[in-house]
Amino acid sequence: MSIRIMGTGSALPEKTVSNRDLTMLVDTSDEWIRERTGIAQRHISTGETLVSLTAEACAGALENAGKSAEQVELLLVATCSPERGIPCVACQVQDALGAKNAVAFDLNAACSGFLFALHTAYAYVQAGVCRNALVAGGEVLSKMVDWTDRGTCILFGDGAGAVFVEKSPTGGILGFVQHSDGARGDVLKCDGRALKNPYVNLPMETEFVRMDGREVFSFAVRQVPACIQEVLTKTGVRTEEVDLFVLHQANRRILETIAKRLAVDLERFPMNLDRVGNMSSASIPVLLDELNRAGRLKRGGRIVLAGFGAGLTYGACLLEW
């Protein structure tokens, strides 16, 4: 028994910001950004909230699956950029959708968040706690970015994606692996509110995203191929038997290196980062929705999903569409 993706949805802010637009803010160029990241533009919120984007993506997934909000039993939102500490984003999305019968909560594993949330939904269904779930990844990272730091502001975009999954006797998730390396968490971080009360007033170390790009690159190109191979070995599937590798859209160079190390043609690694940038937990579900609506995902096809990011966290799953 497993869970199968029955519908997908996504939502992006209306405003797009091109690389040339960024040259007005920082010392950079379109050529410099494209060469190092593969990104040409990203969507940036000018008022859309994480809740509104995620609710729109979830509504799209429900419509695509032919389901109503009242049928949802579990609602998970993966994010690292909520507008509020409480209530959680998932509860706000539950209210926006009218998913009154769902249990709702958030999960934060940064860029691996959607994948970890999908695995959590799988575990809930396997345990008999529920029969279906709405799983979303959403971010408004533009409020966490230092727009004077050309090393980070060129990378990130805002958006949300979602999938509706339900219990299935065949297909769906065939196996997954996930890992964390908290000892290396400082290579990609962003502080929350500083400790301030009548007895202490501590300064905030870094209010914006700070990243050691070289360390993140090294981590990704080493650990992601290893965990993909781990899940393929676990399920007894060879790389040549996988139709598509849908990975977190962080950097084109990272994806090219991963494909090379797996000895897989880059054409089997679909990308949209040139148009949307790095959307952290939203990357995988937004790309899945694009592929699904373009007719590129066929029932019975084998797909590897892999996420990697702050934590450090990383993981992969093999699923049959």
Bridge partners of 161, per DSSP, are 10, 137
pLDDT of residue 246: 98
* pLDDT of 230 over the 90 cut: yes
d(CA 142, CA 102): 30
- 176 closest CA partner among 267, 284, 303: 303
Query: Which pTM value belongs to this model?
Result: 0.95
pLDDT of residue 204: 78
179 part of the active site: no
Neighbouring C-alpha atoms within 13 Å toward the C-beta of 83: 14
Which CA distances in Å does 244 have to 38, 142, 219, 298? 20, 30, 22, 11
In the chain, % of residues over pLDDT 90? 89
Question: Confidence band (pLDDT; 50, 70, 90) for 78?
Answer: very high
Mean pLDDT of 5-29: 97
Least confident of 31-35, 36-40, 63-67, 202-206: 202-206
Q: Which domains does the chain have, with CATH numbers?
A: 2-169 (3.40.47.10), 174-320 (3.40.47.10)
pLDDT digits (tens, 9 = 90+) for 120-145: 999 999 999 999 999 999 999 999 99
Quick one: angle between helices 113-126 and 283-293, nearest 10?
80
Active-site residue identified among 80, 190, 248, 292: 248
58 part of the active site: no
Active-site residue identified among 111, 153, 190, 317: 111
pLDDT of residue 213: 82
* pLDDT of 60 over the 90 cut: yes
pLDDT digits (tens, 9 = 90+) for 79-92: 999 999 999 999 99
pLDDT of residue 191: 85
pLDDT digits (tens, 9 = 90+) for 101-118: 999 999 999 999 999 999
Active-site residue identified among 19, 64, 132, 278: 278
Angle at 156 between CA 262 and CA 243, to 5 degrees: 30
111 part of the active site: yes
